[in-house]
Structure 1
Amino acid sequence: MTETKVFLLPDLGEGLTEAELLNWLVAVGDEVRVDQPIAEVETAKSVVEVPSPYAGTVAELHGEPGQTMDVGKPLISVTPSVESVVTNDPVLEPVETGPVKAEAKEATAAAETYRTEERTGSGNVLIGYGTPGGTATVRRTRPRRAASLVEHADSKPFDSRPIGTTGEAANKLTTEADDALLRRTRVPGKLGAVISPLVRRMAKEHGVDLGHVQGSGESGLIMRRDVEAAITKAPSVEPVETTALETRRVETRHATDARTGLGITTRTPVRGVRKAVAANMSRSRTEIPEATVWVDVDATALVEMRAGLKKSDPDGAPGLLAFIARFVTAGLKKFPGLNTRFISAEDTSGGDSQEILSFDGVNLGFAAQTARGLVVPSIRNADSLSARELDTEIRRLTAVVRDGKATPAELGSGTFTVNNYGVFGVDGSAAIINYPEVAILGVGRIIDKPWVADGELAVRKVTELTLTFDHRVCDGGTAAGFLRYVADAIENPGSALVDL
């Protein structure tokens, strides 16, 4: 009898613990092959297609679109097809001769290759997870049978009782598996509060804060009846679903905020990109002793230079941000202290070990506003690219992040960030450093202002540059030197580009 295999949601990169299921790419009863995309999920970083490590027939889908799935929990159950089940039976060679025999041999060889691939996996890795590669066969011994039953007890993709187990013995085994599962789902910091996936989902759907629920089960176990009682006592809540990529809002009827006395109109869960941004910004403000310097810059020459390029090459002229990015990477070579990372950790003696890591190259991040929130893709080895090449990468990555298709590597590998908030019509801002980087450069809008040029008052194109930096890695002299270098390059772009 072929045993159903349960695929657990893998770690999708950088230790992410959950993902929102956007939609299924397969349905129950469909035939799937190894590495075929089976679901599309949204993490705090991007939208990812999850491939199947198994081939066979889809037996069960463990989730609904819009549901937040925990890493390590069942995602899909697949019943391997007969052809993909590995056996020790010898391969029989057909007796036919001539062309028929040759075709049979080829078919037999292809089938054996397929079975081998099913045993070893394709080797294609989904960040932090993948089907096994190489020629080694993954073996599972019989004594691990009980453990596997416990591991998937909450998914119930098949009858987890061994064949022939009935009555009290079966009930005992099931109870032991459930108890072991509950022990694995303890809520950190909540002594005795043990919550099953079903109960967690029910509480989430009805807006029940489990931190305020007193469990009636053994050792304070929060049972389904406890959540149902909390729902009965709570004000009427009517969920309103939107598309998977939009923020789901929960309409609250007849609810009043205790502090202000005002009625509550909506509750918006913080999740996905917004949740990641909130955590990152909080950590930045908490850990980094930041300082800010700024300067007004006459960008007239840069604007005129780009206008001339655009006139001669309408489709190929780099944008202003690409030129500024080129000046930034050159400035970071002269002031490498701003292209570092500060690391603090407990050393072997129990003390605080601190280091500043310097990098051989610049991965330049730039802030991009999308429908899913603010994201910061990074241009790898930006210091080796020309302004035209930087412009190409800025356009490509902007399109990728707005489609929600950026990879974790594209979103999490920056060493310095440029934030062009001038596109929002503002002049300046003390931006929050994109942790764990140590500095961020803000660029305000370019507007006409009165300016003294060559001793005379004139109307010039002026912008404001703002540099926020980690005071642990450098002093004001370094920060000011870098900012002045970029400002001078913007004011004299021709000579600056000649020297780059």
Structure 2
Amino acid sequence: MSGTRTFLLPDLGEGLTEAEIVRWLVEVGDVVAVDAPVAELETAKSIVEVPSPYAGVVAELHGSEGATIDVGKPLITIGTLDQAAETYRQEEKAGSGNVLIGYGTPESAGSGRRRRPRSTTPASARPTPGAPALQQLPTVATAKDVAGAQRSTAAAPRPAAPAEGTPVRSSQPAPSAAAAHAGSSSAPKARAVPLVVSPLVRRMAKDAGVDLREVEGSGAGGLIVRRDVEQAIAASSTPSTPSTPSVGELLVDVRTGLGELRRVPVSGFRKAVAATLSRSRREIPEATTWVDVDATALLDLRESLRTATDPGPGLLALMARFVVAGLKKYPELNGFVDTEREELVQYDGVNLGLAAQTERGLVVPAIADAHLLTARGLDAEIRRLTASARDGRLTARELACGSFTLNNYGSFGVDGSAAIINHPQVAILGVGRIIDRPWVVDGQLAVRKLTQLSLVFDHRVCDGGTAAGFLRFVADAFESPASILADV
């Protein structure tokens, strides 16, 4: 069996239409097995590894890192081993420089993407005998690269000298000025053949129009690796900026007259956030209510649960337990609005969403069936979801199944916030920072641990009385947790 098969980007979750390539886990020429991960993709605020459904040799990667691919479009092309062998035999026929210099396969075998034109360079000399030996190369090269390079270097015929005035495209580099004086003991020897063995590095250089002869390799023995080509691309595309740039050297915004310091593309991650929040603002008639709460007793309870061998449930887990109990008492806030059927839906159970800030932005994973968990069980799930969010390993279901959101924005050092409801949910409860403040207790002024709770709710599902009842229930649980725990 021979040929290639193209793997199309699958549907990675309900409602997802595109994904951003975060990192390729394979390179062109690598051998992959069925179900071997080939790429890390980011979509719906989560990073997932996508496995290959085919076994064979990677023939083409359809998109660079950072590019966005639509669902159903080509992601990677896998060639069978027979096809890979045939392709390599064709490459061998192209000449010795095809492997080492790294200008890749003929244009007919490319992906069809537009590339920068490559200028032709006359060549009148073959590599010098002083070029580095292949055995100095590290083992990152594939077997076919090393074998092909050895055969090409050993067996390549000396190219015929071109006729005067005739431009010639050659796979061998032109001799540099230093090479012209190679006989001088004071002049360094020029590297006639750049050390490149990775097909991906060759392809990157070719697509970007980078002359590999001018790239200094940072790998073992002077090997040119991916980061070297990336640095060369950045150096050629980014003009040097003085320490104090003037407006004349920057793009100028027409409205303000100010220079544009930088432009940052909107990633798929931010697109998903923007779409959800914009829809929430557009569709939900929201209202906000808040209350100051004495959380001194809550902190005391948290400390009393600690032992020498057991840290006990965290503060956020205790808060989550009170929120779940409140939603059982006020189920209107644990549902959604079915606009097509004009019905208010209430859930039988709670999937508690927890807003978490990560390096990639805000995510809201949910604890499934939170109403069935104890404070200790909630604490374990909070820790697991937090670690997954930090590593970008949340599943699409964990990000989409929430029925109510708890937002601990006090971790940012702020007291209050009028948050945006996480559509299609109908409410979100925020908890501010807990700090020492003066508070009247039994007619006496005292220093207590104060925080602020704020509830943003969809006014279509309930009136202010219901929202206030829920908020007061949670506030009372904060202030007298021992009495509430007896009932939850």
Q: For this structure pair, what is the TM-score category when the shorter chain's length is used for normalisation?
A: 0.5 to 0.7
1:227-306 alignment, distance < 5 Å: 238=237, 254-306=250-302
- Residue 26 of structure 1 corresponds to 26
SS at match of 1:267: coil
- Residue 89 of structure 2 corresponds to none
SS at match of 1:266: coil
Query: Aligned AA for 1:9?
Result: L
Please give the alpha-carbon distance, in whole angstroms, between the structure 2 residues aligned to 1:381 and 1:63. 39
Please give the alpha-carbon distance, in whole angstroms, between the structure 2 residues aligned to 1:35 and 1:448. 55
Please give the alpha-carbon distance, in whole angstroms, between the structure 1 residues aligned to 2:371 and 2:328. 8
- Residue 428 of structure 1 corresponds to 416
Match of 1:309 among 294, 305, 309: 305
Q: Output one character per residue of 1:163-186: Cα deviation in whole Å (capped at 9) or x when no partner.
A: xxxxxxxxxxxxxxxxxxxxxxxx
- Residue 491 of structure 1 corresponds to 479
Q: Percent identity among equivalent residues?
A: 66
Q: TM-score of the superposition, structure 1-length normalised?
A: 0.64
- Residue 182 of structure 2 corresponds to none
Q: Output one character per residue of 1:324-354: Cα deviation in whole Å (capped at 9) or x when no partner.
A: 1000000000000000011212xxxxxxx31
- 1:155 deviates by 4.8
- Residue 358 of structure 2 corresponds to 370
RMSD in angstroms over aligned alpha carbons? 2.4
- 1:45 deviates by 2.2
Please give the alpha-carbon distance, in whole angstroms, between the structure 2 residues aligned to 1:154 and 1:465. 59
Q: Output one character per residue of 1:30-86: Cα deviation in whole Å (capped at 9) or x when no partner.
A: 222221111111223211111111122222222222222222221111123469xxx
- 1:276 deviates by 1.3
Match of 2:320 among 325, 339, 345: 325
Please tell me whether the aligned partners of residues 44 and 271 of structure 1 are also in contact (alpha carbons under 8 angstroms).
Answer: no
Specify the structure having the higher radius of gyration (Cα): 2
Please give the alpha-carbon distance, in whole angstroms, between the structure 2 residues aligned to 1:239 and 1:343. 51
Between stretches 428-437 and 447-456, larger displacement belongs to 447-456
| Unaligned ranges ≥5, structure 1 | 84-152, 158-204, 206-236, 241-251, 346-352
Please give the alpha-carbon distance, in whole angstroms, between the structure 1 residues aligned to 2:238 and 2:39. 24
1:28-427 alignment, distance < 5 Å: 28-81=28-81, 155=111, 238=237, 254-310=250-306, 312-313=307-308, 315-345=310-340, 353-427=341-415
- 1:305 deviates by 1.4
Query: Aligned AA for 1:326?
Result: R
- 1:253 deviates by 5.1
- 1:399 deviates by 0.8
Please give the alpha-carbon distance, in whole angstroms, between the structure 1 residues aligned to 2:301 and 2:353. 25
Please give the alpha-carbon distance, in whole angstroms, between the structure 2 residues aligned to 1:78 and 1:420. 46
Query: Aligned AA for 2:316?
Result: L
The runs of at least 4 aligned residues of structure 1 exceeding 4 Å deviation read: 153-157, 237-240
Please tell me whether the aligned partners of residues 35 and 51 of structure 2 are also in contact (alpha carbons under 8 angstroms).
Answer: yes
Please give the alpha-carbon distance, in whole angstroms, between the structure 2 residues aligned to 1:354 and 1:239. 55
Please tell me whether the aligned partners of residues 253 and 265 of structure 1 are also in contact (alpha carbons under 8 angstroms).
Answer: no
Please give the alpha-carbon distance, in whole angstroms, between the structure 2 residues aligned to 1:299 and 1:376. 25
| Unaligned ranges ≥5, structure 2 | 84-108, 114-207, 209-235, 240-247
SS at match of 1:494: helix
SS at match of 1:57: strand
Match of 1:473 among 461, 469, 481: 461
Query: Aligned AA for 2:45?
Result: K
Distance 1:495 1:39, change over 3 A: same
Distance 1:356 1:22, change over 3 A: same
Query: Aligned AA for 1:72?
Result: G
Distance 1:424 1:359, change over 3 A: same
